[in-house]
Chain A
Amino acid sequence: MTVGGWQPIAALDDLAPRHVFQASLDGQELAVWRADSGELNAWENRCLHRGVRLSIGFNNGAELLCRYHGWRYATGTAGCTYIPAHPADAPARTITNRTYPIVERYGLVWSGREVDGRPEEVAELGAHTLVLRALPVWAPRSFVLDALVDHRFAPNEGLDVDPAEVEMTCDRRQGSIVLTAAHGGSSSTVVYWVQSLDAHTSVIRPVLAETPDDVIAVLRHHARALRELVDRVERTVPSRSVEPQGPLETPVVVERSAGSGPHIEVRVRRKWWTAPDVAAFELTPLAGVLPTPQPGSHIDLRLPNGLVRQYSLTNGPGESDHYRIGVKLEVDGGGGSTLLHDVVTEGDVLTISGPRNGFPLRRDTEHTVLIAGGIGLTPLLAMAQAIRLDRRGFELHVFVRGEDALAFPDVVESFGADATVHVALSPAQTAGRIADVLVAARASHPGALVYACGPAPMLDVVRATAAAAGWADPAVHFEYFSNHHEIDDSTPFEVALARSGTTLEVPAGTSLLEVLRGAGVALPSSCEKGACGTCAVPVIDGTPDHHDVYLRDAERAANTTMLSCVSRARSDRLVLDL
């Protein structure tokens, strides 16, 4: 049994829109599907959660949903984007299904183990070909290849010629058999590949080296001729001749991730001004595939001058070959946006982190209210596209300073009546409009959720107004750009790590995060300003002094979690579950 090399696993026509094709290659079952964008996917046919076949799942055009508990995996990366049983949490980035190489050539879809490049070049197959009917045969691949050498058919120009009178020539190649039938001056050539479903079942996949006039007649002729061959093979294959197929350990995983650590190198594929003071960037990896974006996630962008800035991904579902961000020019912002606007150009290489999601979207509500202020639109764009794909209701409200200040207007326009742009309102008018929106949505959709992102004063208004209008605290989600609170770090405190049995001193002027890291605790962090939630730690005892803008009021009051980058202690001592 030769394992390795490209084999056809389907005809391109087999991958109907929104269909999930069940395939098999050398005994390994695959779920093969095409996204609406045309992207092809070949994955292990098994949900990471409970092992159910993904081929009975649901292809929504950009994600594959497992039939059993609805886990979603993104096209391209196979990364998990949503777990319905944990609707408020972002799935860990490491939850990624096994992917296999997949390419299209000659109208067939190919995969294989330990392959690179493309399937073999076949000189006979030019611009005009016809994929003939493939037939399964209950015989091992090598047996079928041997039998194909004696296969006979008639040329297209003489389909009713007695096959015995046709002159056949055969060219046996590395992985294919090329047969030419000639009679009375006309000839036709067919290339046959044989796919090994498993040790004792194969599929013969022929491609005709021309496009005939009467396609159906030619298809029928070849299907009939091949059926006779299949019958003959199945009559003659010795029933116990099955080639022993060694256990195929774990399937070969193609390492496609561009990295999960803090450093991924990306190139600026495209830069454009989506509004006069907003530059948009499309970033593609230098190698491999980017980790799967989720609605609401952000990346750290490391700038050439050493600054690190956070930007939300605007990617909709299915957009997995690049990250797209919008950068608003902040003249007084410390230089990050100036650099991105004025210096960074297409073709430049930047370093980013993998995406983190402190602002995850629940995808189980009938209606979602999205409220954006200015560049706060970016994470909500990703959310709106995900909700639209799910065919659930949403209303997007974007507050902008002027007509032309709207970023990504093409995407906003694509939402039609679901999006409303509120232009040039005063703070008081904005507050009034937000109140109208929240009161109306609360009345029409009592189970709705609110997601808001924008400047701090606006988010404060959203939260206060929502509470006054009867929205429950857990229904209102928000993401601040940055922390506008004054952080008083003048008081030292003691922190006990319950699991490690260590006690540490946090001196004045030093953050808890710094002290923990100094003691060897590996904690992820991103903005380090109390806005993104990446460095949250669980609190067992003591009263934190919260300085962040990430936690909701109820979470803050519960005192069971705190952001280690900015928050400190009201009590002399905190006990952390670390």
Chain B
Amino acid sequence: MLTAANTLRVTRVSSVRVESPTVKTFTFKDKLCAKARPGQFIMIWIPGVDEIPLSIMNVEKGEVSVAVKAVGEATCALHGMKVGDKVGVRGPFGSYFTETPGRVLLVGGGTGVAPLLFLAKRLSARAKRLALVMGAKTKSELLFLDQFTALCTAKSMIAATEDGSYGLKCLATEPVETLLKKENFDMIYACGPEPMVRQIFLIAEKYVIPIEASLERLMRCGLGLCGSCMIGKYRVCKDGPVFNATQLREVKDELGVSKLDFDGKRIRF
């Protein structure tokens, strides 16, 4: 069907917040996106530049927020935007996290923590236990520390940096395995670079814990039509971006190993 979600709406940036030297959070009004569930994404059109997929970080009072790291032409152009500037929005699109209210472990890498923050807000009152492992290259790239601390309590929050500038000096995978050796969880929710997601998935399998992971691929149409974002038989934009353990098992050979490039050629991570 021709749906309202697929239709491009133009809206204005209502607030910009600097989260780190490379990450800003953008908020804008959009009624449809404000109904999104944690894990879903939107397509943002930067007029005259590009249109890119972004995970939703929060929805509140008819507004939607996304955390954006300046890495390429589109994200740098977005970083140059001010309150009142116009962007186009499509979505919300895709699958979402199940919001299991048991003992929950969140694992995020880099800006992958953004949808997990949205999820943590929904779960904090309901989950029996809410623990978070977040990883980043360096201290300044650990995002939303205060908000996560408030939601998970300081005791249940483990940070890891590759350069050891904050928390543990290791990848996010190490503290995850340490935690799982000590206690049981009902669900792991993961989001971050795909090689990290792969490792977390393998650990979850080893300890026989259900996992849902949000994946990111090159996206064009966002409608499940063009095939640019395929992983195995799945379309990340339509069947994903959140996949459960059964689906991740089906795409294990590709997960964190290879993906399609702009020209549809398979490249390695």
- B and A form one assembly: no
**Interface set of B (CB-CB < 8 Å, partner A):** none
**Interface set of A (CB-CB < 8 Å, partner B):** none
